[in-house]
Amino acid sequence: MSYKRVAVVVLVIIALFAATAFAGGNKTKFNCDKKYCNTNTVLTDLLDIDKQTLKEKLSNGGSIYDMLMEANKFEEYKEYLLKDGKAKLDKFVKFGKFTQENADAKYNEYVTALDNWGGSANSNIIDQCGRIKLKIKNKK
């Protein structure tokens, strides 16, 4: 058998394995972007757990909010989120997406949403990680 055929067979097997692993693996109820939620050092430091433990808890239906409340660390996380949200809004102002007045109004809405968060993403301004929902689209 040629090397090309072997390579193709190996790639097909890997693709099938990966597809089955992802399709049949643990379904997480948590729908937050993995880069942020599974590797965020702020969360792992506050909760005093490693990245793998955080990932497992989220995969088993846990929520960041519940974990933070249980550890009495919600207020510290909230402070971090507010600073992060303010920085994002400042970028919107800098890039001309919002006026300062609009950014201030969004920030106040975000503070209220965080105060009433509860761990869900039912708000139009907050996701399940507690982050503000804003994206800057680059002009081309």
The domain segmentation of the chain, as residue ranges, is: 3-115
Which contiguous run of DSSP H or E holds residue 2? none
pLDDT in tens, 12-48: 455 444 433 333 333 333 445 444 554 478 888 889 9
pLDDT in tens, 62-93: 888 899 999 999 999 999 999 999 999 999 99
Confidence class for position 5, pLDDT limits 50, 70, 90: low
- The two three-digit tokens of residue 140, written as one number: 């081309």
CA dist list (Å): 91 to 3, 23, 79, 81, 99: 52, 38, 19, 15, 11
DSSP-derived 3-state class of residue 126? strand
pLDDT in tens, 107-138: 999 999 888 888 766 667 877 778 788 765 54
In this prediction the pTM is 0.65
Helix axes 74-94, 100-115, angle to 10 degrees: 160
